[in-house]
Amino acid sequence: MSFLTASWKKLCFANYAVDPTILKPYLPAHTELDFYKGKCYVSLVGFLFDDVKLKGISIPFHKRFEEVNLRFYVKHFDGKKWKRGTVFISEIVNKPAIAWVANTLYNENYSVFKMHYKHDLTSEENFFSYGVFYEDSWQLLQVTTAPKPEVYTSGGIISFITEHFWGYSIKDSLNTWEYEVTHPIWKSYKILDSEILFDFGGIYGSAFEDLSHRQPDSIQCMEGSPITIEGKKRIKG
């Protein structure tokens, strides 16, 4: 049985090319940074967690909630093949039990903030808004898209960002936790407009401060699907 099952819906990504050296403190053992066309990316991601179950059991008042995270992309060679995965710098939810489970069992870096999620749909467009309440103001990731998602062209930045099917986290300096994330290939919404008002330095640390004053290199929004998160495995030093 999968450790966690859920649906990830309406995933909005703001992707930034960064200096790889700022990610070295967050890089788990036995992984290396994954590059797209010679560039190293971090992504600010907002999405909706729905129908959440741990080991097939629903947690009261924790079935549906929004998440905002900052993540980057790595790969690990297991002796036979390369596995492409994600490392989370920080993940924000408004559900303490979810944060406790992820931090305790998967060595993730979850924190709990007041949040909001808004989705307005008309015949002409979608509007998605994810917010984190920090230092008495709303930090916002907002995207306007075409109303219907479509199959995207493989091999581009959308493929690179979304088609990482493993998660990695630091256990200690020599050991890493690995877990598989399963989902089908998602459909993508055409981006019409976006607005990001986010204190990266305050929330994620001074190494990411300049992202607060930059436009992202790309924006994407994915329809999402049911997903599973499988049990963790230790990659030993």
> What gap in Å lies between CA 162 and CA 145, rounded to an integer?
18
Lookup result for tokens 């981006």 = 191
Q: How many domains does the chain have?
A: 1
Amino acid identity of 210?
A: D
pLDDT band per the 50, 70, 90 thresholds, residue 211: very high
Contact 84, 73 (CB under 8 A): yes
Using CA atoms, how far apart are residues 136 and 236, in angstroms rounded to an integer? 43
DSSP state of 81: S
Question: What is the rounded end-to-end Cα distance, in angstroms, of the chain?
Answer: 28
Helix (H) or strand (E) holding 56: none
Which stretch of DSSP H or E encloses residue 198?
none
> CATH number, domain at 103?
2.40.400.10
For position 201, what pLDDT does the model report?
97
- Average pLDDT of 139-153? 97
Q: Which two tokens stand for residue 3?
A: 């450790």
Instruction: Give the integer Cα–Cα distance in Å for 95 and 105.
Output: 16
Task: Indicate whether 138 pLDDT > 90.
Answer: yes
Residue 86 CA to residue 74 CA, distance in Å, equals: 6
pLDDT tens by residue, 74-109: 999 999 999 999 999 999 999 888 888 888 878 888
Whole-number percent of the chain with pLDDT over 90:
87
Domain residue limits at 140: 4-235
Identify the band that residue 187 occupies on the pLDDT scale cut at 50, 70 and 90: very high
Give the span between the Cα atoms of 102 and 28, in whole angstroms: 17
- Tell me, what's the pLDDT at 193? 98
